[in-house]
Amino acid sequence: MRIPPTVSLCYNGEKFHQEPLKERNPMAIKPKTTPIYQTSVFTFEDLNELEAYFEQPSTAYMYTRFANPNSDELAAAVKALEQGAGAVVTSSGMSAILTAVLTYCESGDHLLCAEEIYGGSSVLLSRELRRLGIGVTYVPLEDMDDVSPYVTEKTKMLLTETMTNPFLNVQDIQQLASQCRRLGLKLVVDNTFATPVLTRPLTLGADMVIHSVTKYLSGHSDVTAGVVVAQTEPDGSRAQEIVVHYGLNLSPFESWLAARGLKTLHLRVKQHSANALAIARYLERHPRVKKVYYPGLPSHPQHQLAKRQGNGLFGGMLSFVIDDDPDTVNRFMRALTLIPFAPSLAGVQSSLSHPLKTSHRALTPEKRKKLGITMGLIRLSVGIEETEELIADLEQALDSIAD
């Protein structure tokens, strides 16, 4: 039988000493970091306290699917960064997209989506939402300056990315917002690549912003999460209802991890951006590289827009093209020693991906060909390592595929 302790080890600022064990006052506990509320349910004193909760749910917690201190902390932090009025965190970036669409659309409605978008988003819209009776039309990049020919009486919203995946084309959010207001559409922007450090779409007129928190906001490749931030409180409340009713909520532990990672976002994004710009400049000069896609390069078609909209930063994502040959791509990947092949992005460690075989493999061959997603296209998520070490690794890998 274990005998409970009768003394407590205390520290008075100079030395440790033992004192008789006393019950500590919970109200006196003031942790600098929010504890993890790893619980599925919260308790009530009696029926009166329960009724008080239902009268004012924001004053207490009942069930983690409805709300939890950790998920609320994360939502509030991202809401502040994006300067929104309402926010809710979700179980993944995909569930954030679903939440945003269902906030504005129902069966029989129609939405527009930029043609160049993350492949998973395209699959969700084209396959799953069509099963729910929500139609989608994809707008080519060259037509985004005027989407009115694609609008029908059923069209409710336009979905786009601040920077497109994988070619880093930059959308003029202010111009799109002006269009959408004129056409009576809601503008939803996936701001994952840019982050609020570069661009805050809500301040440029967007109605809703979504993120895959898995990526830059969390930043350490150890969380799967999403977030939805609305420009108005009613839209934020509706998004929260969808998360609750569809069970799209995020767990307390992952909320805590993401909130911890978010604290270094500004520092990380600045280093991601500095490294990516240096690498893009290096790759643009390399004879084995056919093309580099990075908005920080003057050769990028939206360089000036990216400079203005990104506050002088261009993010940590870039894509480049080598020989359009599977063996060449494989040799290049195997030769890298610091940069792993990992089909995700935005961690503190650099990684590369292959859009044809990962993020965009579900698209039809015709669609991939139209977008320019070929065998030789490599997407590079630039981390925060020493720039010189990353360039040296890329150089020896590119040397390995020389004729």
Peptide bond into 166 cis (omega under 30): yes
The pLDDT of residue 278: 98
Catalytic residue among 156, 186, 215, 238: 215
Among 54-68, 244-258, 382-396, the least confident range:
54-68
Picking from 215, 218, 237, the residue whose alpha carbon sits closest to that of residue 228 is 237
Q: Are 188 and 206 in contact (CB under 8 A)?
A: yes
124 within 8 A of 94, measured Cβ to Cβ: yes
Structure tokens at 38: 């790893």
Is 118 part of the annotated catalytic residue set? yes
Q: Tell me if residue 187 falls in helix, strand or coil.
A: strand
Which of the residues 61, 72, 109, 190 is marked catalytic?
190
Please state whether beta strands 208-212 and 186-190 pair in parallel, antiparallel, or not at all (unpaired): parallel
pLDDT at 369: 83
Q: Distance (Å, rounded) from C-alpha 224 to C-alpha 204?
A: 28
* Alpha carbons 158 and 180: distance in angstroms, whole number: 8
pLDDT, tens only, 179-197:
999 999 999 999 999 999 9
- From the number of C-beta atoms within 10 Å of its C-beta (0-12, 13-18, 19+), residue 257 rates as buried
Is 399 tagged catalytic?
no
Using 50, 70 and 90 to split pLDDT, how confident is the model at 119? confident
Question: Which two three-digit tokens encode residue 133?
Answer: 């009776």
**Reported confidence tier of residue 117, pLDDT bands at 50, 70, 90:** confident
CA dist 209 and 199 (Å) reads 11
Q: Which CATH number fits domain 265-399: 3.90.1150.10, 3.40.1350.10, 1.10.3720.10, 2.50.20.10?
A: 3.90.1150.10
**pLDDT recorded at residue 59:** 84
Q: What string of H, E and C letters represents the secondary structure of 305-333? A: HHHHHCCCCCCCEEEEECCCCHHHHHHHH
3-state helix, strand, coil in the chain (%, to 5): 40, 15, 45
**Active-site entry in 53, 65, 270, 361:** 65
The type of residue at 116 is E
Q: Burial level of 217, CB count in 10 A (0-12/13-18/19+)?
A: buried
pLDDT for position 23: 64
Q: Residue 109 CA to chain centroid, in angstroms?
A: 26
**Is 215 labeled as catalytic in the residue annotation?**
yes
Residues 6+ apart with CB under 8 A from 22: 8
Count of beta carbons in the 10 Å neighbourhood of residue 213:
31
Q: What is the pLDDT, as a whole number, of residue 27? A: 65
Phi-psi region of 221 (alpha: psi -120 to 50; beta: other; left: phi over 0): left
Predicted confidence band at 372 (pLDDT cuts at 50, 70, 90)? confident
Task: Count CB atoms within 10 A of the CB of residue 190.
Answer: 28
Report CA-CA distances (Å) from 340 to 145, 159, 276, 296: 38, 31, 16, 24
pLDDT band at 168 (very low <50, low <70, confident <90, very high): very high
- Rg of the chain, C-alpha, whole Å: 24
Give backbone dihedrals phi and psi of 203, rounded to 5 degrees, phi first: -75, -15
Which residue, 161, 160, 158, 151, is CA-closest to 112? Answer: 158
pLDDT at 45: 93
58-262 carries CATH number 3.40.50.300: no
Active site residue 327: no
Q: Which of 37, 61, 104, 118 is catalytic?
A: 118
CA–CA distance, 162 with 140 (Å, rounded to integer): 15
What is the tens place of the pLDDT at every residue in 41-68? 999 999 999 999 999 888 899 999 999 9
Average pLDDT over every residue of 361-365: 76
d(CA 165, CA 297): 17
Token pair of 341 as six digits: 């092949």
Q: Please report which residue ranges of 26-172 form alpha helices under DSSP H.
A: 47-55, 69-82, 93-104, 119-123, 130-131
pLDDT tens-digit profile of 57-115?
888 999 999 999 999 999 999 999 999 999 999 999 999 999 999 999 999 999 999 99
> Which one, of 122, 15, 87, lies nearest residue 355 by Cα?
122
| Residue at 376: amino acid letter | G
Answer whether residue 7 shows pLDDT above 70: no
At position 11, the amino acid (one-letter code) is Y
Token pair in block for residue 14: 């100079």
Q: Is residue 266 within a helix (H) or strand (E), and if so which, with residue range? A: helix 265-285
Listed by start position, the domains of the chain span: 58-262, 265-399
CA distance 121 to 226: 13
